[in-house]
Amino acid sequence: MTAPHPTGRWRRTWTAVKKWVDPLVMMIIAVFVLGLLAPATGAVATGVDRVSTVAVVLLFFLYGARMSTSEVWAGLRNWRLQGGMFAATYLLFPVLGLAVQLLPESVLPGDLQTGLLYLSLLPSTIQSSVVFTSIARGNIAGAICGATVSNVLGIVLTPLLVGLIMSRAGGPMGGSAGSTLLQLLLPFVIGQLVQPLIGDWVRSHKIVTLLTDRGTILLVAYSSVSEAERSGVWDGLTLGVLVVLVAVCAVLLAVMLTLTWSGGRWLGLERADRIALLMCGSKKSLATGLPMASVLFGPVAAAGVALPVIVFHQLQLATCAVIARRLAASADPDPAVLARA
C-alpha cells in the first residue's frame, strides 16, 4: 500500500482549513503582523495613505457599478423580510453596540468598545450572507436584495449613525461629512449612473471586484496598523484583552442569531425567508467596514476599530457555516435545536 502523496495531503489539509478560516482574514492577519514588524514610515507611509484613498474611491465606484438597480427594487416587494433585515441591521444591532459601552474599561479598553459600537453600525455582508442562505436552502433572491439594499443604505446610514451615535458616546471621529461625500457616496452614485453602460462588464469580470475588495482592505489594514504601531496604540493589548474581545463578539453574534430567527417567526415568515433573515440580519461587512473606517476615523483610531470588525467577521463565518449545513440537513429549522444535535 503506497503512502499518500505529500502534495495531496497538504491540499486536503488546506481545503479543511478553508472551511473554518476565511482566507481574507488570514491575509489581513498577515498584513497586521507585517505592520507591527515593519510599519511604513516617512515617504512610504505617505504613499501608502494616498494609494489607500484612491483604492477606497475605486472600491465604492465599483460597488455602484456592479449593483443592478432593478434587482434592488424588485426585492423590496417582500416588505416583511426586508423590514426585518433593516431592523436587525440598523436598530437591534446598534442597541447591542451601545450596551457594550456599559462595560468598564478595566474589562475592555475604550478603543475596542468604540470598535464594537462601530461594528454594530455597519451594513450586512453580501457574498457570505447569500452563500450561507443558499447552503441552508433559504430565499436566495430575498437575501441578495436584502444584503444589497443594506449595503446601499449603509453608504449613507453608517456615516450618519457614526456621526450621531458615536460622537455622543465619545468615540473619536477623524473624518468629515465632506470626505465621506467625496470618498464614499459620490463614487457610488457615479457608479450607479454608469451602471447601465459598464455593469454587465463589471459583473462578468469578478476578478476585478475581488482584487479591488481585497486589495483595498489589505492596504487600509496595513496603513492603519503602521500608524498605530508608530503611535503606540497596540502597547496595551494583552492576551486577556483579546480573549474578552472574542467573548464579547461571540455574545453579540449569539444574541443576533437568536433575535433574527425568533423575529422571523414573529413576523410570520416562511422557513426560506426566516433563513434569509437569519443569515443577513446577523452579519456585518468587513469589506465595507475597514475602508469606511479609514475615512470616518483618524488613522490611529481606525486601527483600534479594525480589530473588533475582523474578530467578529471570522466568528460569523465559522458559526454560520455550521448553522447553514445543519439547517440544510435537518428537518427541524430551529438553530437552538440544531446546536444540540
DSSP string, 278-302: HHHHT---HHHHHHHHHHHS-HHHH
If one counts the domains in the chain, the total is 1
271 vs 229, higher pLDDT: 271
Residue 280 reports pLDDT greater than 60:
yes
- Predicted local confidence at residue 300, as pLDDT: 61
Residue 207 lies in a domain: yes
Q: What is the mean pLDDT of the chain?
A: 80
Provide the whole-model pTM: 0.71
The answer to whether residues 216 and 294 touch, using CB atoms and an 8 Å cutoff, is no
Residue 210 reports pLDDT greater than 60:
yes
Query: Per mean pLDDT, which range of 56-65, 178-187, 212-221, 288-297 is the poorest?
Result: 178-187
- Where are any strands of DSSP class E within 168-280? none
Residue 5 lies in a domain: no
Query: Per mean pLDDT, which range of 197-201, 215-219, 238-242 is the poorest?
Result: 215-219
Residue 160 lies in a domain: yes
Residue 17 lies in a domain: no
**What is the tens place of the pLDDT at every residue in 23-44?**
766 787 788 788 878 888 888 8
The whole-angstrom distance between residue 265's C-alpha and the CA centroid of its chain comes to 26
**What is the tens place of the pLDDT at every residue in 281-325?**
999 987 778 778 877 776 666 667 778 888 888 788 878 888 888
Residue 268 reports pLDDT greater than 50:
yes
Written as one string, the DSSP assignment of 89-108 is IIIIHHHHHHHHTTS-TTTS
Question: How distant, in Å, are the alpha carbons of 89, 185, 298, 319, 336 from that of 280?
Answer: 8, 23, 29, 13, 18
Residue 7 lies in a domain: no
- Predicted local confidence at residue 101, as pLDDT: 92
d(C-alpha 185, C-alpha 273), whole Å: 30
Range of the domain at 262: 24-34+43-339
What's the CATH code of the domain at 239? 1.20.1530.20
174 vs 5, higher pLDDT: 5
- Predicted local confidence at residue 97, as pLDDT: 94
Residue 149 lies in a domain: yes
d(C-alpha 40, C-alpha 34), whole Å: 10
**What is the tens place of the pLDDT at every residue in 134-192?**
888 888 878 878 887 888 788 888 888 888 887 655 554 444 445 556 666 788 889 88
The pLDDT confidence band at residue 99, using thresholds 50, 70 and 90, is very high
d(C-alpha 263, C-alpha 258), whole Å: 8
- Predicted local confidence at residue 314, as pLDDT: 78
The answer to whether residues 199 and 68 touch, using CB atoms and an 8 Å cutoff, is yes
